Amino acid sequence: MSKYIIGMTGASGSIYGVRLIEELLKMGNEVHIIITDSGRKVLEYETDYTVELLKSHLEQFKGDNKIQDIDDLFAATASGSFRTDGMVVLPCSMATLGEIANGVSKNLLGRSADVCLKERRKLIIVPRETPLNTIHLKNMVSLSEAGALILPAMPGFYHKPETIDDMINFIVGKVMDSLGIENDLFDKWGK
Ligand SMILES: Cc1cc2nc3c(=O)[nH]c(=O)nc-3n(C[C@H](O)[C@H](O)[C@H](O)COP(=O)(O)O)c2cc1C
């Protein structure tokens, strides 16, 4: 069993985060979930979930889910001594991306990401915005230089998606590949 941190922000695409959490829990992992205030609002706007409904939905899976208080800087993931197998911010807004890129650790999401970078643990940022301005691009370069992986929410079409689910699974499968987790969420090229 591994421990992961999943951050969800107010960027469009909350359903990506939900799907990744489901997959990690199905495998029996421990998942620490941190949702920003805007992330909660976009989750409610774009999906049928509130945070409370999401929590009860996740109870059916065998893994342990912990939905954290965004302002709780006493939580385990705020400290480097709490060892995790990595963090994914999915979807990542340009606001949170800018905070992480500039070492702003004012809430639990930013602090947990900062901890992953300082401890040289996996940090996968899945930005969602278009078009991108120069500030967004520079922040992505800073994060990449600091050791984060930038994995944009850019679904491909070479696996011939037929449904929105196929497109969601493509991005979530790419994230899981980057975490080193075997998955068959989409047909890999050359398989
Ligand atoms: C419906 C909706 C969709 C949004 N989509 C995006 C987006 O795709 N990318 C982005 O950077 N911001 C997006 N925003 C704006 C962010 O929610 C806003 O910048 C917020 O301050 C982000 O805060 P957070 O990073 O703390 O979650 C969206 C806002 C709304 C209401």
Contacting residues for 136 by C-beta, under 8 A, at least 6 apart: 94, 97, 98, 127, 129
- State the pLDDT confidence band at 59, using cuts at 50, 70 and 90: very high
Q: Tell me whether residue 189 is in a domain.
A: no
pLDDT > 70: what percent of the chain?
100
pLDDT > 90: what percent of the chain?
95
Predicted local distance difference test score (pLDDT) of residue 188: 84
Q: Tell me whether residue 183 is in a domain.
A: no
Instruction: Find the CATH number of the domain harbouring 40.
Output: 3.40.50.1950
Encode pLDDT of 4-38 as tens digits.
999 999 999 999 999 999 999 999 999 999 999 99
Report the nearest atom of ligand 1 relative to the CA of 45.
1
CA of 128 to the centre of ligand 1 (A): 9
Beta partners for 8? 35
**pTM greater than the 0.95 cutoff:** yes
pLDDT score of 190 more than 90 = no
Token pair belonging to 171: 């991005």
Question: CB–CB of 59/25 below 8 Å?
Answer: no
Question: How distant is the alpha carbon of residue 129 from its chain centre?
Answer: 15
- Which residue ranges have their beta carbon within 6 Å of ligand 1? 9-12, 36, 38-39, 42, 45, 93-96, 128-129
Counting the structural domains of the chain, the total is 1
Among protein residues, the one with the nearest Cα to ligand 1's atom 9 is 11
pLDDT score of 191 more than 80 = no
Tell me which residue of 117, 80, 119 sits closest to 101, measured CA to CA. 117
- Relative orientation angle of helices 94-101 and 134-145, to the nearest 10 degrees: 50
